[in-house]
A and B are shown apart, each in its own frame.
Chain A
């Protein structure tokens, strides 16, 4: 049992620390040194993981196996579609949008009605979710102190009537935090850096706490993952949870999709990911770091669930609080305390950000329109900034109070327990109009309104009301039997669809009705010019450069716009922004500003940051006389636009041509550099090859010169070497010249039609002495038909190739029993000459290398060179010049699998196209 004062002290120390972190963040921001790095941003997005993750995932895993993971895989996948998130950020920054309601309303002609509807859906869907967080705090306190509901309340205050329980104390502290750090600026688009830093801190804290509890359960209470899994496998009911058979794949996909949409549509996620984003490039880190966070916080969920199931096998236990009860049951109070603070951290983070986001929506899109349109003499006040701030702060208190009331009166009901996914379903209804609005210009206000209303109605009927029915608040027959006994209208089996679980069922029908309504109505109705302009701005935000609407005409007074700004932003703030605006346009005084389209848009955007885009539009419209555009003007604008488009297409074409030319130039340059490198290689190799025989000649000549008394036998041997090396040198130089001529294309080819049969015979005969010296037999096989094998070639060059191949063969056959075969044949319009020898063969690795300049087979460091290394490259050049090919097929010997010996040898083959005649 943990002492009450310890829990109270640590809870207040933790909350105090939260205040300190937020204060530090705000001070740094005020000093111009932002603390919002890409890492802080990514961690703050993890506000997604609430107490529902901290406690509820383990509970879900005990009954659904891996299904809890869908809630985290969906956001992981959605973050990979970062283009969508980036576009949301860009649109919001450009138009200074403050919430998801503002975003949707701004896209569809700044409709106050639409903004109000989105806000109502969000509030109805999210308030119970806030209540769930308060319940988690209350429940964890109840586990720690089963008999003291006022554990966190000092004894002296317990007797006060307004001190209901410890959860209320925490709710009050959270309200204070949210007011202090969430409403620092009147302009919502000015970031709450302290709050974001505190949320990032909470994310780190809850992750550490959960990992610590996980490690404790896996390695302290058990013998590691393997032990837990092995013990789970031994119990069939638990083992079933670990296999794919436990997964309903339809529900799995539905929940992945649902959570993927929720990560974009939940007001708190929109607040952190979009509104609080200070730099678009921070998304680069968030794309992988946020999914990594989700992975880490989930890695111990299943093991903890298994440990609980094994420990309480067959007995009743509270699965949702295993994270807290397991360390507590073992008497490890420090771990239990860490788990409690982790859960508290997860719950408070969510409550703070969600309340700020909802408060912005409620004050801008519900309260402000009522005040601006209502009977209150609101708009005549000189400075409304204080009133607006007060409204927002009161809204925060009101929302937290609503959440607390819901928790108090529905704390144990099914409606609250199941609210996590039901809330996700509610916000998923924003997806068609939000995503459609960003990518489909034709989507319009009527379509969005009908879609949202239909989706919301289906959600109410298939998700929220059934949860009320299961809580016993209303009759529950309609859930399975349908109203008036009509089966097809059953809330969990609408139109006979009974195969999906309730959440997947509700998601399917609500999104189908929502999307269907949005698309069909948008296609049947038309947008006005203003809506069309905003639609274009949203869809083309990545290429749009200016905010000022091109399709606008009206009369306005700069003074009335300035007055309006001063009233809503406060005189000081308005003055500063107007001065900045004037300075950017090279205007010295604010009084000289002209009320053109640009200035009207500026005023509206500045107001949007404070009272929302819809209210801002209404207020600006009240001082601006906007005129409807005539048909001729619209035609002129279209004409101008088409000219701009044509010009842009022309520019694009020229740019593509330039790119192509520069690509060609780059390729040519690369080729030149390669040729230059080859030339350098060639020069260095030639120099090296020439130096070798020269060195030899010089060395032996010097020896002869230095020793006149040298023995006759040595003298003759040395002179023989000198003559041999001189011959090699001459041959080398001739071949280099020959090769250079071939490469440069300066060879005079004397092409004539000749019979290869004669040429092969004649060439082989000319080398007869060489074969005899080496003791080799040369067999010539010619086509049996005795017909001439006619080709159009340069006689001397082809003879040179055959001599090269035969000389090579002679060099490598074994002395005394060499066998060389020359075979001439025809095939597919080509004459084929094959020179085969029974030499040692060429390893596969060298079979292509030997056709490179100065390259020979074998080890060049140890083997004596057998030629100049230019014969084969020259031969290949010649053959390829006449449209043929030269290659080698060779084997180095060995034995077959059957034990037969394979004879080594090489066959050089070349082809020459036969003459047409």
Chain B
């Protein structure tokens, strides 16, 4: 298996372990209260979830992200 691929899989695995922590006890028990009318638990669960997805995308498809970014920089996206 190419080294770059191994590195990508390793990074994803690390994010996987971090996600296990973020989406479980004890961190989950801290998300109490609300942000305005929105329950903090609802907001944080979905925000962390989206963050994990974006990081995974950044890791697995860096060229696409880079291309998107450069398009935005040039104002063509």
Which residues of chain A from 69 to 83 have any CB-CB distance to chain B below 8 Å in the complex?
69, 73, 76-83
| Shortest distance between the CB of A558 and any CB in chain B (Å) | 35
Which residues of chain A from 551 to 592 have any CB-CB distance to chain B below 8 Å in the complex?
none
A-B contact pairs, 12 of them (CB 8 A): A77-B20, A80-B15, A82-B60, A225-B37, A233-B34, A252-B24, A284-B60, A288-B56, A291-B49, A291-B52, A291-B56, A299-B46
Residues of A contacting B32 in the complex (Cβ-Cβ under 8 angstroms): 243-245
Asked whether B28 is an interface residue with its Cβ less than 8 Å from the other chain, the reply is: yes
Q: Which residue of B lies closest to A542 (CB)?
A: B1
Given contacts A82-B12, A82-B60, 20 further A-B contacts (CB under 8 A): A66-B41, A66-B42, A73-B19, A80-B16, A81-B12, A81-B16, A225-B37, A225-B38, A226-B37, A226-B38, A229-B37, A229-B39, A233-B37, A245-B32, A247-B29, A249-B25, A284-B60, A288-B54, A288-B56, A288-B57
Interface membership of chain A positions 423-444, coded 1 if the CB is closer than 8 angstroms to chain B and 0 otherwise:
0000000000000000000000
Determine whether the beta carbon of B56 is less than 8 Å from that of A287.
Answer: yes
For the complex, give the distance between the alpha carbons of A245 and B28 in Å: 10
Determine whether the beta carbon of B25 is less than 8 Å from that of A82.
Answer: no
Determine whether the beta carbon of B16 is less than 8 Å from that of A288.
Answer: no
Residues of A contacting B13 in the complex (Cβ-Cβ under 8 angstroms): 80-81, 83
Q: Which of A73, A227, A230, A302 has the most CB of B within 10 A?
A: A73
Asked whether A387 is an interface residue with its Cβ less than 8 Å from the other chain, the reply is: no
For the complex, give the distance between the alpha carbons of A82 and B56 in Å: 11
Determine whether the beta carbon of A252 is less than 8 Å from that of B38.
Answer: no
Asked whether B9 is an interface residue with its Cβ less than 8 Å from the other chain, the reply is: yes
For the complex, give the distance between the alpha carbons of A225 and B34 in Å: 13
Determine whether the beta carbon of A287 is less than 8 Å from that of B39.
Answer: no
Closest 6 A-B residue pairs measured CB to CB? Answer: A80-B16, A249-B25, A242-B39, A226-B37, A288-B57, A83-B9
Determine whether the beta carbon of A66 is less than 8 Å from that of B45.
Answer: yes
Residues of B contacting A245 in the complex (Cβ-Cβ under 8 angstroms): 32
Residues of B contacting A79 in the complex (Cβ-Cβ under 8 angstroms): 56
Asked whether A295 is an interface residue with its Cβ less than 8 Å from the other chain, the reply is: yes
Given A244-B32, A245-B32, A73 and B23 touching (CB < 8 A)? Answer: yes
Q: Which residue of B lies closest to A239 (CB)?
A: B39
For the complex, give the distance between the alpha carbons of A554 and B10 in Å: 42
A-side interface residues toward B, CB under 8 Å?
A: 66, 69, 73, 76-83, 86, 225-227, 229-230, 233, 242-245, 247, 249, 252-253, 256, 283-285, 287-288, 291-292, 295, 299, 302, 542-543
Partner of A287, one of B12, B20, B37, B46: B12
Given A229-B39, A287-B12, A291-B53, A69 and B45 touching (CB < 8 A)? Answer: yes
Residues of B contacting A291 in the complex (Cβ-Cβ under 8 angstroms): 49, 52-53, 56
Partner of A292, one of B16, B37, B53: B53
Q: Which residue of B lies closest to A81 (CB)?
A: B16
Given A82-B9, A291-B53, A291-B56, A247 and B23 touching (CB < 8 A)? Answer: no
Residues of B contacting A542 in the complex (Cβ-Cβ under 8 angstroms): 1
For the complex, give the distance between the alpha carbons of A249 and B34 in Å: 20
For the complex, give the distance between the alpha carbons of A243 and B12 in Å: 30
Partner of A80, one of B28, B29, B41, B56: B56
| Shortest distance between the CB of A92 and any CB in chain B (Å) | 16
Residues of A contacting B56 in the complex (Cβ-Cβ under 8 angstroms): 79-80, 287-288, 291
Determine whether the beta carbon of A77 is less than 8 Å from that of B19.
Answer: yes
Determine whether the beta carbon of A230 is less than 8 Å from that of B49.
Answer: no
For the complex, give the distance between the alpha carbons of A252 and B28 in Å: 10
Partner of B49, one of A73, A252, A256: A73
Residues of A contacting B16 in the complex (Cβ-Cβ under 8 angstroms): 77-78, 80-81
For the complex, give the distance between the alpha carbons of A126 and B23 in Å: 28
Residues of B contacting A81 in the complex (Cβ-Cβ under 8 angstroms): 12-13, 16
Residues of B contacting A292 in the complex (Cβ-Cβ under 8 angstroms): 53
Q: Which residue of B lies closest to A227 (CB)?
A: B37
Determine whether the beta carbon of A256 is less than 8 Å from that of B24.
Answer: yes
Partner of A295, one of B19, B31, B46: B46
Q: Which residue of B lies closest to A250 (CB)?
A: B25
Q: Which residue of B lies closest to A226 (CB)?
A: B37
Determine whether the beta carbon of A76 is less than 8 Å from that of B52.
Answer: yes
Asked whether B68 is an interface residue with its Cβ less than 8 Å from the other chain, the reply is: no
For the complex, give the distance between the alpha carbons of A66 and B43 in Å: 12
Q: Which residue of B lies closest to A38 (CB)?
A: B61
Partner of B23, one of A77, A226, A230: A77
Residues of B contacting A225 in the complex (Cβ-Cβ under 8 angstroms): 37-38
Determine whether the beta carbon of A295 is less than 8 Å from that of B39.
Answer: no
Q: Which residue of B lies closest to A70 (CB)?
A: B23
Determine whether the beta carbon of B52 is less than 8 Å from that of A80.
Answer: yes
For the complex, give the distance between the alpha carbons of A547 and B69 in Å: 43
Residues of B contacting A80 in the complex (Cβ-Cβ under 8 angstroms): 12-13, 15-16, 19, 52, 56
Given A252-B28, A291-B56, A285 and B9 touching (CB < 8 A)? Answer: no
Residues of A contacting B61 in the complex (Cβ-Cβ under 8 angstroms): 284-285, 288
Q: Which residue of A lies closest to B50 (CB)?
A: A295
| Shortest distance between the CB of B67 and any CB in chain A (Å) | 14
Given A76-B49, A81-B12, A225-B38, A244 and B23 touching (CB < 8 A)? Answer: no
Determine whether the beta carbon of B23 is less than 8 Å from that of A256.
Answer: yes
Asked whether B36 is an interface residue with its Cβ less than 8 Å from the other chain, the reply is: yes
For the complex, give the distance between the alpha carbons of A80 and B16 in Å: 5
Residues of A contacting B23 in the complex (Cβ-Cβ under 8 angstroms): 73, 77, 256
| Shortest distance between the CB of B57 and any CB in chain A (Å) | 4
For the complex, give the distance between the alpha carbons of A245 and B41 in Å: 11
For the complex, give the distance between the alpha carbons of A81 and B50 in Å: 17
Residues of A contacting B29 in the complex (Cβ-Cβ under 8 angstroms): 244, 247, 249
Determine whether the beta carbon of B36 is less than 8 Å from that of A295.
Answer: no
Residues of B contacting A243 in the complex (Cβ-Cβ under 8 angstroms): 32, 39, 41
Residues of A contacting B24 in the complex (Cβ-Cβ under 8 angstroms): 249, 252-253, 256
For the complex, give the distance between the alpha carbons of A80 and B42 in Å: 22
| Shortest distance between the CB of B2 and any CB in chain A (Å) | 10
For the complex, give the distance between the alpha carbons of A73 and B1 in Å: 29
| Shortest distance between the CB of B41 and any CB in chain A (Å) | 6
For the complex, give the distance between the alpha carbons of A81 and B28 in Å: 22
For the complex, give the distance between the alpha carbons of A120 and B57 in Å: 38
For the complex, give the distance between the alpha carbons of A66 and B39 in Å: 11
Q: Which residue of A lies closest to B60 (CB)?
A: A284
For the complex, give the distance between the alpha carbons of A906 and B6 in Å: 55
Q: Which residue of B lies closest to A541 (CB)?
A: B1
Given A76-B19, A288-B53, A244 and B12 touching (CB < 8 A)? Answer: no
Determine whether the beta carbon of B42 is less than 8 Å from that of A226.
Answer: no
| Shortest distance between the CB of A157 and any CB in chain B (Å) | 48
For the complex, give the distance between the alpha carbons of A249 and B28 in Å: 9
Residues of B contacting A253 in the complex (Cβ-Cβ under 8 angstroms): 24-25
Determine whether the beta carbon of A242 is less than 8 Å from that of B53.
Answer: no
Q: Which residue of B lies closest to A249 (CB)?
A: B25
Residues of A contacting B50 in the complex (Cβ-Cβ under 8 angstroms): 295
Residues of B contacting A256 in the complex (Cβ-Cβ under 8 angstroms): 20, 23-24
